[in-house]
Structure 1
Amino acid sequence: MSSSKRGAKVSLDVMQGLMAAGQAASKGLDVRLKHLLEIRASQINHCAYCIDMHIKDAKLAGETDERIYFLNAWEEAASHYSEKEQAALALTEAITVLTDGFVPDEVYERAAKHFDERELGQLISTITLINAWNRINVSIRNPPTYKPGEHA
């Protein structure tokens, strides 16, 4: 598989729309949690550009190396994450993978115990948007060349 960037360009209007939607979706959401969710979805989707971006921005926001390192195995390293974060990570995986074609009730209900209706909507929107970004960047093979804070 080639790792070079492809020539396809994403519509500037679409990119601006996704960025505006991302800002609206995550407004008021804990920034460190937002980055953890974005890193985890990007790991699942194999999006090197987004992994690079969100790790760098998470560290800028004060996230620890240890929690970032364990993110790929968060269930086994559960003691590093709060119950609320674990519920959000489970929801991230369910929305990103959609193995059964839907988010299981128990995963949704687990998240609903820790987030109010508005926050749950923000989580779902944030997770959906990072998946869109992942698909764009993986499609065009955008290389991991992000400068910390560039899109913050």
Structure 2
Amino acid sequence: MTAEERSPRMDLFHVAPDVYQAMSALERAAKKGLDPVLTELVKIRASQLNHCAFCLDMHVRDARAAGETEERVYLLSAWEEAAGVYTERERAALALTEAVTVLTDGFVPDAVYERAAEHFSEEELARLISVILTINSWNRIAVTTRMVPGRR
């Protein structure tokens, strides 16, 4: 498929601004009280899995603005092999992100959920799950409408 064939399809948020407002409100509520760097790592990893260039561009920039290092951003797609780069809490969040995003065999494995529950309070875990759900929704909007990276 050529670049011309991959041009934007619509500006969903201009056509349905109430959807944008609702999504933005959900995202604000979801990430409340969570570490901004952790939430950006989650958003980047989900966006990698969903092949969402628009969200990858945005969240890599946001992570760097929040103080994230280039090394950790570069290694995120191979976080499991990057021993010592991510904390156990971050690794648990990334494992949950992958399980929720991919829904292997239609469910989130108990071991993945329990690992996350060891590192996050119940409220933090609820918010983390909500951040994962929200970025997956943003990814699907951006990929479907072919939002262009670098344009916010």
TM range (shorter): over 0.9
Corresponding residue for 1:150? none
* 4+ long deviations beyond 2 Å: 7-10
Q: Distance in 2 between matches of 1:7 and 1:34?
A: 28
Aligned pairs, number? 147
Corresponding residue for 1:4? 7
Q: Distance in 2 between matches of 1:85 and 1:3?
A: 34
Q: Residue 48 of structure 2 is aligned with which of 34, 39, 43? A: 43
One-letter amino acid matched to 2:91: Q
Offset at residue 115 of structure 1 (A): 0.2
Corresponding residue for 1:101? 106
Structure 1 residues without counterparts, runs of 5 or longer: 148-152
Corresponding residue for 2:58? 53
- Normalized per residue, which structure has more helix? 2
Structure 2 residues without counterparts, runs of 5 or longer: none
Corresponding residue for 1:122? 127
Offset at residue 103 of structure 1 (A): 0.5
Q: Distance in 2 between matches of 1:8 and 1:53?
A: 17
Q: In terms of mean alpha carbon deviation, does 21-30 or 9-18 score higher?
A: 9-18
Q: Residue 138 of structure 2 is aligned with which of 133, 140, 145? A: 133
One-letter amino acid matched to 2:68: E
Corresponding residue for 1:70? 75
Query: CA RMSD for the aligned pairs?
Result: 1.1
Q: Distance in 2 between matches of 1:31 and 1:93?
A: 19
Offset at residue 9 of structure 1 (A): 2.4
Scaled by the length of structure 2, what TM-score is found? 0.93
Offset at residue 78 of structure 1 (A): 2.9
Q: Residue 118 of structure 2 is aligned with which of 113, 116, 122? A: 113
Scaled by the length of structure 1, what TM-score is found? 0.93
One-letter amino acid matched to 1:6: R
Please list the CA deviations of residues 45-73 of structure 1 after superposition, one character each: whole Å capped at 9, or x if unmatched: 00000000000000000000000000000
Offset at residue 4 of structure 1 (A): 1.2
Q: Distance in 2 between matches of 1:95 and 1:106?
A: 13
